[in-house]
Amino acid sequence: MELAYITIGRAILAAQTLETALTPIYEMYRLHTEPGRIKETEGRLPEGAFKIPIANIVKTLAAKGSIDPELQSRLVAYNEARHLLVHRWVQEHGVPDPSDIRYFLKLAKHALHVEQEARDLTRIMVGYMVKYAEPEWAKANTLEFRAKMQSIFQDAANEPSVSNKPT
Protein backbone atom coordinates (compact mmCIF):
# COMPACT_ATOMS: atom_id res chain seq x y z
CA MET A 1 0.00 0.00 0.00
CA GLU A 2 2.74 2.48 0.95
CA LEU A 3 4.67 1.69 -2.22
CA ALA A 4 1.58 2.47 -4.31
CA TYR A 5 1.17 5.80 -2.54
CA ILE A 6 4.84 6.67 -3.10
CA THR A 7 4.44 5.77 -6.76
CA ILE A 8 1.37 8.01 -7.05
CA GLY A 9 3.30 10.92 -5.54
CA ARG A 10 6.15 10.43 -8.00
CA ALA A 11 3.69 10.27 -10.90
CA ILE A 12 2.01 13.48 -9.82
CA LEU A 13 5.34 15.30 -9.56
CA ALA A 14 6.34 14.06 -13.00
CA ALA A 15 2.96 15.21 -14.36
CA GLN A 16 3.42 18.64 -12.83
CA THR A 17 6.91 18.84 -14.31
CA LEU A 18 5.53 18.09 -17.77
CA GLU A 19 2.78 20.66 -17.40
CA THR A 20 5.24 23.25 -16.08
CA ALA A 21 7.47 22.68 -19.11
CA LEU A 22 4.70 22.41 -21.70
CA THR A 23 3.09 25.75 -20.90
CA PRO A 24 6.05 28.01 -21.77
CA ILE A 25 6.95 25.78 -24.72
CA TYR A 26 3.43 26.18 -26.08
CA GLU A 27 3.68 29.93 -25.53
CA MET A 28 7.01 29.99 -27.43
CA TYR A 29 5.26 28.22 -30.29
CA ARG A 30 2.47 30.81 -30.19
CA LEU A 31 4.94 33.69 -30.23
CA HIS A 32 6.26 32.38 -33.54
CA THR A 33 2.95 31.42 -35.15
CA GLU A 34 0.43 34.07 -34.09
CA PRO A 35 1.00 37.53 -35.52
CA GLY A 36 0.91 40.17 -32.80
CA ARG A 37 1.30 37.64 -29.98
CA ILE A 38 4.63 39.05 -28.81
CA LYS A 39 3.20 42.57 -28.65
CA GLU A 40 0.08 41.30 -26.87
CA THR A 41 2.04 39.42 -24.20
CA GLU A 42 5.27 41.45 -24.25
CA GLY A 43 7.00 38.08 -24.58
CA ARG A 44 5.77 36.94 -21.17
CA LEU A 45 3.52 34.11 -20.10
CA PRO A 46 0.01 35.50 -19.92
CA GLU A 47 -2.02 35.43 -16.74
CA GLY A 48 -3.59 31.99 -16.30
CA ALA A 49 -1.26 30.28 -18.78
CA PHE A 50 -0.66 27.36 -16.43
CA LYS A 51 -4.42 26.75 -16.19
CA ILE A 52 -4.77 25.76 -19.85
CA PRO A 53 -5.43 22.01 -19.88
CA ILE A 54 -3.19 19.77 -21.97
CA ALA A 55 -6.30 18.59 -23.82
CA ASN A 56 -7.02 22.15 -24.97
CA ILE A 57 -3.44 22.65 -26.15
CA VAL A 58 -3.58 19.41 -28.13
CA LYS A 59 -6.99 20.27 -29.65
CA THR A 60 -5.76 23.70 -30.71
CA LEU A 61 -2.60 22.29 -32.27
CA ALA A 62 -4.54 19.53 -34.03
CA ALA A 63 -7.07 21.99 -35.45
CA LYS A 64 -4.17 23.93 -36.98
CA GLY A 65 -2.44 20.79 -38.25
CA SER A 66 0.51 21.73 -36.08
CA ILE A 67 1.10 18.52 -34.13
CA ASP A 68 2.62 15.22 -35.16
CA PRO A 69 -0.10 12.53 -35.00
CA GLU A 70 2.05 10.25 -32.83
CA LEU A 71 2.82 13.05 -30.37
CA GLN A 72 -0.87 13.96 -30.36
CA SER A 73 -1.83 10.36 -29.56
CA ARG A 74 0.77 10.14 -26.80
CA LEU A 75 -0.34 13.39 -25.18
CA VAL A 76 -4.02 12.41 -25.36
CA ALA A 77 -3.32 8.95 -23.91
CA TYR A 78 -1.03 10.40 -21.23
CA ASN A 79 -3.66 12.98 -20.29
CA GLU A 80 -6.34 10.30 -19.98
CA ALA A 81 -4.06 8.08 -17.86
CA ARG A 82 -3.19 11.03 -15.62
CA HIS A 83 -6.86 11.93 -15.18
CA LEU A 84 -7.69 8.34 -14.30
CA LEU A 85 -4.94 8.30 -11.68
CA VAL A 86 -5.72 11.68 -10.14
CA HIS A 87 -9.46 12.06 -10.55
CA ARG A 88 -11.21 8.77 -11.26
CA TRP A 89 -9.26 5.81 -9.89
CA VAL A 90 -11.55 5.16 -6.92
CA GLN A 91 -14.68 5.72 -9.01
CA GLU A 92 -13.54 3.10 -11.53
CA HIS A 93 -11.74 0.65 -9.23
CA GLY A 94 -13.44 1.13 -5.88
CA VAL A 95 -12.18 2.09 -2.45
CA PRO A 96 -9.18 -0.06 -1.59
CA ASP A 97 -9.08 -2.61 1.16
CA PRO A 98 -5.66 -2.03 2.79
CA SER A 99 -4.91 -5.75 2.54
CA ASP A 100 -5.74 -6.07 -1.19
CA ILE A 101 -2.28 -6.48 -2.69
CA ARG A 102 -3.59 -6.91 -6.25
CA TYR A 103 -5.46 -3.60 -6.06
CA PHE A 104 -2.35 -1.73 -4.95
CA LEU A 105 -0.14 -3.47 -7.52
CA LYS A 106 -2.55 -2.44 -10.27
CA LEU A 107 -2.61 1.12 -8.92
CA ALA A 108 1.18 1.27 -8.62
CA LYS A 109 1.62 -0.11 -12.15
CA HIS A 110 -0.70 2.57 -13.53
CA ALA A 111 1.08 5.30 -11.57
CA LEU A 112 4.45 4.07 -12.87
CA HIS A 113 3.10 4.27 -16.42
CA VAL A 114 1.90 7.85 -15.86
CA GLU A 115 5.24 8.83 -14.34
CA GLN A 116 7.28 7.29 -17.16
CA GLU A 117 5.18 8.83 -19.92
CA ALA A 118 5.29 12.25 -18.24
CA ARG A 119 9.08 11.99 -17.96
CA ASP A 120 9.46 10.85 -21.57
CA LEU A 121 7.23 13.62 -22.92
CA THR A 122 9.05 16.19 -20.80
CA ARG A 123 12.41 14.96 -22.09
CA ILE A 124 11.20 15.18 -25.69
CA MET A 125 9.80 18.70 -25.40
CA VAL A 126 12.47 20.19 -23.16
CA GLY A 127 15.23 18.46 -25.11
CA TYR A 128 14.01 20.07 -28.31
CA MET A 129 13.99 23.49 -26.65
CA VAL A 130 17.46 23.01 -25.19
CA LYS A 131 18.72 22.03 -28.62
CA TYR A 132 17.07 24.75 -30.72
CA ALA A 133 16.41 27.63 -28.34
CA GLU A 134 19.99 27.80 -27.06
CA PRO A 135 20.49 31.59 -27.14
CA GLU A 136 23.78 31.78 -29.05
CA TRP A 137 22.67 29.29 -31.69
CA ALA A 138 19.24 30.93 -32.00
CA LYS A 139 20.81 34.35 -32.49
CA ALA A 140 23.24 33.05 -35.12
CA ASN A 141 20.51 31.06 -36.93
CA THR A 142 17.48 33.31 -36.69
CA LEU A 143 15.49 31.89 -39.60
CA GLU A 144 16.10 28.27 -38.64
CA PHE A 145 15.32 29.07 -34.99
CA ARG A 146 12.00 30.61 -35.99
CA ALA A 147 11.17 27.59 -38.18
CA LYS A 148 12.06 25.20 -35.34
CA MET A 149 9.82 27.07 -32.89
CA GLN A 150 6.96 27.02 -35.42
CA SER A 151 7.28 23.26 -35.91
CA ILE A 152 8.14 22.15 -32.38
CA PHE A 153 5.02 20.03 -31.95
CA GLN A 154 5.52 18.47 -35.37
CA ASP A 155 9.25 17.78 -35.07
CA ALA A 156 10.12 17.26 -31.39
CA ALA A 157 9.11 13.61 -31.13
CA ASN A 158 11.15 12.78 -34.22
CA GLU A 159 14.42 14.32 -33.09
CA PRO A 160 17.15 11.66 -33.11
CA SER A 161 19.01 13.18 -30.18
CA VAL A 162 18.40 16.02 -27.80
CA SER A 163 21.90 16.07 -26.40
CA ASN A 164 23.63 17.39 -29.52
CA LYS A 165 23.81 21.02 -30.49
CA PRO A 166 22.14 21.81 -33.82
CA THR A 167 24.40 21.76 -36.83
Q: Does residue 18 fall inside a structural domain?
A: yes
User: pLDDT per residue over 120-139, tens digit each?
Assistant: 999 999 999 999 999 999 99
Residue 141: DSSP 8-state: T
Range of the domain at 45: 2-158
User: Do you know the residue count of the chain?
Assistant: 167
pLDDT tier for residue 159 given thresholds of 50, 70 and 90:
confident
Number of domains making up the chain: 1
> According to the model, what pLDDT value does residue 167 have?
45
Q: Residue 108 above 90 pLDDT?
A: yes
The span from the first CA to the last CA of the chain, in angstroms, equals: 49
Q: Residue 1 above 70 pLDDT?
A: yes
Within 10 Å of residue 54's Cβ, how many Cβ atoms?
Answer: 20
Least confident of 32-41, 63-72, 156-165: 156-165
Q: Residue 96 above 60 pLDDT?
A: yes
| Angle at alpha carbon of residue 24, lines to 55 and 152, rounded to 5° | 75
Q: Does residue 167 fall inside a structural domain?
A: no
